[in-house]
Amino acid sequence: MANPCPAWRRLYLAVFSVTTLLALSDTSDTGPHACRCMPQDPCWPEDHQWARFNKTVDGNLIATVPIASVCHIDSFTPYDQSQCAQLQSTWGFPETHYESSSSIMAPIFTNLSCNAFSSKTSPCTIGNYVQYTVNATDVAHVRKTINFAARHNLRLVIRNTGHDLLGKSTGAGGLAIWMHYMKDISIVDYDSSAYSGKAMKMGAGVQSFEASDAAHTAGLVIVGGNCPTVGLTGGYSQGGGHGQLVSHVGLAADQVLEWEVILANGKLVTASPTNHPDLYWALSGGGGGTYGVVVSMTSKAYPELPTASGNLTFSDTGISRDTFFAAVAMFVSILPSIGDAGGTSIWWLSNTTLSTTPTTIPGGTSTLFNSLFKPLIAFFEQNKIQYTYYVNDFPAYYDAYQTMSPPINITDQLPGGRLLPRSVVEQNLPDLNTIFRNIVETNAGFLISGVMVNSSRVSYPENSVNPAWRVALVNVVIGAPFDYTDWDGNFARKQLITDELMPLLEELTPGGGAYLNEPDPNQRDWQQVFYGDNYDRLLEIKRRYDPHNRLYGFKAVGSEAWTVSENGRLCKSESY
Ligand X SMILES: *[C@@H]1O[C@H](CO)[C@@H](O)[C@H](O)[C@H]1NC(C)=O
Which residues form the interface with ligand X (CB under 6 A)?
54, 59, 61-63, 89-93, 101, 111, 113, 127-128, 135, 137, 172, 181, 311, 313, 316, 336, 339-340, 351-352, 357, 388, 390, 403-404, 409, 422, 441, 443-444, 454, 456-457, 471-473, 566-568
Q: Is residue 506 close enough to count as binding ligand FAD by CB under 6 A? A: no
| 163 is a site residue for ligand FAD (CB under 6 A) | yes
Residue number with CB closer to ligand X (474 or 529): 474
| Nearer residue to ligand FAD within complex by CB, 304 or 518 | 518
Tell me the C-alpha to C-alpha distance, in Å, between residue 492 and each of 142, 251, 518.
40, 34, 20
Main-chain dihedrals φ then ψ at residue 418, nearest 5 degrees: -150, 140
Residue type, 536: D
Nearer to ligand FAD, 161 or 356 (CB): 161
CB of 470 to ligand FAD, least distance (A): 15
Residue 159 as a binder of ligand FAD (CB under 6 A): the answer is yes
The helix/strand/coil state of 77 is coil
Strands 472-481 and 413-421: antiparallel
Residues in the chain: 576
Check residue 155 for interaction with ligand FAD (CB under 6 A): no
Instruction: Note whether 403 and 472 are within 8 A (CB).
Output: no
Residue 343 interaction partner, one of ligand X, ligand FAD, none, beta carbon < 5-8 Å per kind: none
Q: Are 35 and 27 in contact (CB under 8 A)?
A: yes
141 binds, among ligand FAD, ligand X, none (CB under 5 to 8 A by kind): none
Helix (H, G, I), strand (E, B) or coil at 91: coil
Assess 45 for contact with ligand FAD (CB under 6 A): no
**Quick one: what does residue 235 bind among ligand FAD, ligand X, none, with the CB cut-off 5 to 8 Å set by partner type?**
ligand FAD
- Closer of 456 and 517 to ligand X (Cβ): 456
404 near ligand FAD, rule: CB under 6 A: no
Candidate list 107, 203, 241, 358; residue touching ligand FAD; CB under 6 A: 241
Q: What is the DSSP string of 400-453?
A: HHHHH--------EEEEEEEEEHHHHHH-HHHHHHHHHHHHTTSTT-EEEEEE-
Question: DSSP letter at 564?
Answer: E
Buried/exposed 88-125: b ≥16 CB within 10 Å, e otherwise: eeebebbebbbebbbbbbbbbbbbbbbbbbbeeeeebe
Residue 549 CB, shortest distance to ligand FAD, in Å, is: 15
CB of residue 503 to ligand FAD, shortest distance in Å: 24
Q: Are strands 185-191 and 344-349 parallel, antiparallel or unpaired?
A: unpaired
Query: Which residues contribute to the site for ligand FAD (CB under 6 A)?
Result: 105, 158-165, 168-169, 179, 204, 225-227, 230-231, 233-236, 238-239, 241-243, 288-289, 293-294, 408, 410-411, 517-518, 553
